[in-house]
Structure 1
Amino acid sequence: MGITAMIPGTTIDGLLSEGKERWQDIFDADAMRMQVMLICPRKERKILEMHGDMVEHGQPVIGVFHRPRAEARLLEEQGLNPRDASFEFLDLATTDLGPWMQHMITSEQWIRGSVSIQPVPFSVDVPAQRAFENITMICFRHPSLPAIERYYLPFPPTSIPNKCFVSLPRRQAAELARQQAEILGVGRAAEPATPEPIIQEEPIAPSPEPVTEIVEVDEVTIEQPDSVPLPTVETNQSEGPQSVTDAITKATTDGFDEMQAAGDELETVDVPLPPVVEEPQSEIEIEFRALVTELIANGVEPSEMVDDPRWDSINERAAAVGFETWPVFMELTSVE
């Protein structure tokens, strides 16, 4: 399958002359090429533009559409209304003609014929034209359109300046087509200009002018403050220090006397201590204490007591009744 690109403002001859530079290895300058004419209903022109996307082909296929204007009446004289049809000229490799037209002929019953491409007569008012020799060309037309024998052009088919639709033969050429042309369907629509923000200035209300009020001096009443008597200071104090040094000395002496009195009071009070109640020892505890005491008396180190054959038996029975031997062991070994 191919991929179609649209290149504006060029001709078939111009693209062929730049084919090696544009498409590099995709374009074979030595391949034999030919031109054919296609006539389709105007409503199917878009399908014809994209036809290369659905066809396998080995070389680039270049197509250009022509719309009759001043020469339209010459087609009407042959029984074809030019407003009902679109006219395309294709330049393609001869090996690609069969795959390109296969679907149209087998499925849509397009009709193959021939047409004579002739220059527009000088009697027709065409401002720009160039004389060229008549060209007999293979023509494929849709079965709904009548056949014509002559088609008139102001320039040769490969020199018509217009938008050219190029179908490149391999999808891996898509990136190359994007760099050099406009991918069909994307278009060249100009990006909408970003509107400039409109700044609306709010009207500033004029500030009211200050009103100056004139007050007569006679109308002002000044209130007299109430007199507050000053506090009286007694000069003769019967108690208390007369200076800072005396105050510190007195406070220190009084505090020391109070602490000494409190200490003497604590010494005179004899608080009896609560009697120590010893919990009764279980049989397993008595047996464990006796074992540890015996081993200590025999000079066995605490770390070697676990090697005694009676140690494991007593510890197992102690664990069974919930007696913890470790605190007792630490008590006995630390005392010794």
Structure 2
Amino acid sequence: MGITAMVPDMTIGQLINEAEPRWGEIWDDKSARMLVLLMCPRKERKLMELHGDMVEHGQPVMTVFHRPRKEAPLLEQQNFDPKAASFQFVNLASPDLGPWMQHLITNEKWMRSSIELTSVPFSMDIPAQRAFETERILCFRHPSLPALERYYLPFPPNSIPGKCFVSLPRRQAAELARQQAEVLGVGRLEKKPTITQIDASELPIAPPVVEASPSNMDDMMDDFSSNMLAEMSAEGEEEQNVTLPGSNLEKQESEQPEHVFVPLPPSASQGPSSPQPPQPPAPAAAIENSADVPVPEPIPEPEPEMSDIEREFRELVSGLLATGIEPSEVMDDPRWEDISERAAAEGFETWPVFLQLAAM
């Protein structure tokens, strides 16, 4: 037997995707599953919703009902009254198909056939329509219902939204519920506080409170005020005879002399020996008069010998400048080019000598 639960606003495809986190070890990914269509009279829909409670199965079974609305004319064209039946899509494991249909086929004489699931034509303008490939699946119908060759859907069968009914195996579901209860802390027994009843005779009796009369209260107040005044007068006398500690300190300071001479030890009377300053060095011998020292006469440096080309160049430039020719016009003389070429051949620089002669 199983345990059926209703999950609102769900599709079979969503339940398959969330099967492992929902049901844990109950769900087997490797188990082969199949989709079948059950057509029952509309009055038996409630029985088909809880059909899993009467069937022993090993894997979760997910079902969803679809009611044709705008698709109804397509069923009427096949001589089928859409209001006479409820259409239930069942997704279950292949080994569970036999136990699921055994009672219906054996006792109620349900009939087996195949049906073609196809997409609604787009010309019908159904909102949120989604086309899918046509497929043929098994169909089981009540004997009071006629056969149906083709069933139209606006979207794939695993995407039909609505109330999904999930049937879980009872043993595995009970174990899963127990584990979840332990995790959530549900179902734990709480210790109830014990209440002990005590008789009135066993309760402790409080001693009676004696109220004082007004006359006794007046006497007590008079005694209290007189005692307080006596204590205050005694404390005042003690304060007058008490000397402040600061006055003794002032007297001791006044008796001490202002300056006290402390004798020093004999070693301290002698001042530390100061080092003697160094003797100045003896004056050096007087330097002899510089007038007595003979000054050597400078020896003129010998003039370098002039080469023939230099002597000839000097004579040419000096002669031209002596005639009143400007230094800039000396180079126009035809002899300048000839002597410059011969000077360059011998390695003589004419330009420094020319500047020297022009500046004289």
TM-score if structure 2 supplies the norm length? 0.48
Query: Displacement of 1:170 after TM fit?
Result: 1.8
* 8 Å Cα contact 1:3/1:174 also seen in 2: no
Aligned mates of 1:65, 1:44 — CA distance in 2: 13
Query: Displacement of 1:146 after TM fit?
Result: 0.6
Query: Displacement of 1:110 after TM fit?
Result: 0.4
State the match for 2:25 in structure 1.
25
State the match for 1:140 in structure 2.
140
State the match for 2:68 in structure 1.
68
Where 1:5 maps in the other structure, the secondary structure is strand
Where 1:97 maps in the other structure, the secondary structure is helix
Unpaired segments of 5 or more residues in structure 2? 181-360
Query: Displacement of 1:41 after TM fit?
Result: 0.2
| Higher RCO, 1 vs 2 (CA within 8 Å, ≥6 residues apart) | 1
State the match for 2:45 in structure 1.
45
Aligned mates of 1:18, 1:80 — CA distance in 2: 36
Q: 1:179 to 1:16 in 2, by over 3 A?
A: farther
Q: Which stretch shifts more, 168-177 or 70-79?
A: 168-177
Unpaired segments of 5 or more residues in structure 1? 181-336
- Runs of 4+ that moved beyond 3 A: 174-180
Aligned mates of 2:177, 2:135 — CA distance in 1: 31
Aligned mates of 2:133, 2:124 — CA distance in 1: 18
Query: Displacement of 1:10 after TM fit?
Result: 1.0
Deviations 1:100-150, CA, capped at 9 Å, x for gaps: 000000100100000000001112131111010001010000000011100
State the match for 2:119 in structure 1.
119
| Residues 1:11 and 2:11 aligned together | yes
State the match for 1:87 in structure 2.
87
Figure out how many residues of one structure are paired with residues of the other and give that number: 180
1:227-266 to structure 2, matched below 5 A, reads none
What letter is aligned with 1:88? Q
Q: 1:178 to 1:46 in 2, by over 3 A?
A: farther
Deviations 1:71-106, CA, capped at 9 Å, x for gaps: 001111111111110001010000000000000001
Aligned mates of 1:145, 1:136 — CA distance in 2: 19
Where 1:123 maps in the other structure, the secondary structure is helix
Deviations 1:151-205, CA, capped at 9 Å, x for gaps: 000111111111110000124515857999xxxxxxxxxxxxxxxxxxxxxxxxx
State the match for 1:325 in structure 2.
none
Deviations 1:24-57, CA, capped at 9 Å, x for gaps: 0111111000000000000000000000000000
* 8 Å Cα contact 2:40/2:142 also seen in 1: yes
1:278-317 to structure 2, matched below 5 A, reads none
| Higher helix content, 1 or 2 | 2
What value does the CA root-mean-square deviation take over the aligned residues? 1.8
State the match for 1:241 in structure 2.
none
What letter is aligned with 1:60? P
Q: 1:88 to 1:58 in 2, by over 3 A?
A: same
% identical aligned pairs: 68
Q: 1:177 to 1:8 in 2, by over 3 A?
A: farther
Q: Specify the structure having the higher radius of gyration (Cα).
A: 2
